[in-house]
Every structure is written in C-alpha cells, then in structure tokens.
A and B are shown apart, each in its own frame.
Chain A
C-alpha cells in the first residue's frame, strides 16, 4: 500500500533562517505531488505541485520554493523565513492525471519567532 511521510512534525525557526521540509511517498510511482499551507483556522492554500522529476508549478509567488529531485521526493525550501511563513504545511500525492483522491501526510507545524 502507499504511504506518505513528512518531516519534521514540528519546527521552530527564527526569522531569516533557511527552511527545508521533506516529503516522500512509498508504494507508487510517478505520483503528482503537492505542497499546501494552512494558516491557523483557515483553509488550504496550494503552494506548489509537481507532475514529474524537476517539474514544479508555483501557484502563489512568495518566499518559498520547491524541488523534486527524485520521483517520490518533494522538498519545500526557503532561503530566509519571514514571520508570515508560519503555518501548517501539508504534503499530498495523487495518482497522475486522474479523478482519484489526494492523500495527505501528517503535516509540519512551522513556527517562526
């Protein structure tokens, strides 16, 4: 069966520091991969998605970037964090171009001080 792993689960970082959040999927190949951010008490904001290695689509211009160095690995990065980057970050995968559901990781709670 397929599983998705996100880490770390929680992270506290100072303003201006770099960021790297990692997401990996097991048990499937060539998935679509997604990064979302969820601010406290708010809905989901799609940040990036990827349909293949090295292919990244950015939905919202901001202080973050994403990379997909391997088929089942998706990384969210920042060179310098802002206070507004605080939130709950969720990674998700979906089986290619289909009407199948997205499956989510457990999320990373990022707090910027």
Chain B
C-alpha cells in the first residue's frame, strides 16, 4: 500500500542554518508528491509539489526533488528564518480519492 515516512521532530535550528527534513514514500504506482506547511492555529498550506521523477518543486526558498530511485522527497532550505517555524507535512497522491500524509515535523527557528 501507499505510505509516507518523515523524520521525527522536533527540529530546532538557529536562524540562517541549513534545513533538511527527510521524507520517504511507498507507492504502488507513480505518485505526485507534496510538502505542506502548517503555522500555529492554522490549516495546511501547500508549500511545493512535484509530479514526476526528477522534478524539483520550489517555493519561498524551499526545495524538494522527486527521487524515484531512493523513493524520497526531502525538503531543504539554505537559510531558515524565524518565520519558517511551523509543522511540515510530506504527502503523496496517486490520483485517486485519498492523500497519504506523513506524521509531520515540527520546526522551531531561534534568533
């Protein structure tokens, strides 16, 4: 079946540090992959997506590359800011009715 595994948090970084949040997936077909961000007290917002192997999704300085050979979609940012503090969710969809979400990784950036 389909599933998403992302690294356990919480993650605490200093401002301007490099961020990596690991995400690996299991899928029966050729899924699309997504990263969502959830700020405190809010719903999830789509951060970026990739629809096929080797695609790179990017937005607001965040990037993730769809790696079919390693079934991974790791989220990276070169220099985090305090405003990036949030919970990040990796997700996949194979075009059916369901989405499969990871358990979320909490990021705190300290000045």
- Chain A residues with CB under 8 Å of chain B are 6, 32, 34, 41-44, 46, 49, 51, 57, 90, 92, 94, 97-107, 109
Contact = CB atoms under 8 A, between A and B. Distances in A.
B51 A104 contact: no
B97 A105 contact: no
Interface in B34-60: 34, 36, 41-46, 49, 51
6 contacts: A42-B103, A44-B44, A44-B101, A90-B43, A94-B93, A99-B94
Nearest to A10: B41
Contacts of B111: none
B1 interface: no
Given A44-B101, A51-B97, A102-B44, 6 more contacts: A44-B104, A90-B43, A90-B44, A99-B93, A102-B93, A104-B45
A6 B51 CA distance: 29
B98 interface: yes
Contacts of B98: 46, 49
| Residue of B32, B34, B44, B102 most packed against chain A (CB within 10 A) | B44
B43 A105 contact: yes
Nearest to B48: A101
B108 to A, nearest CB: 13
A6 B36 CA distance: 19
A97 B102 contact: no
A100 B96 CA distance: 10
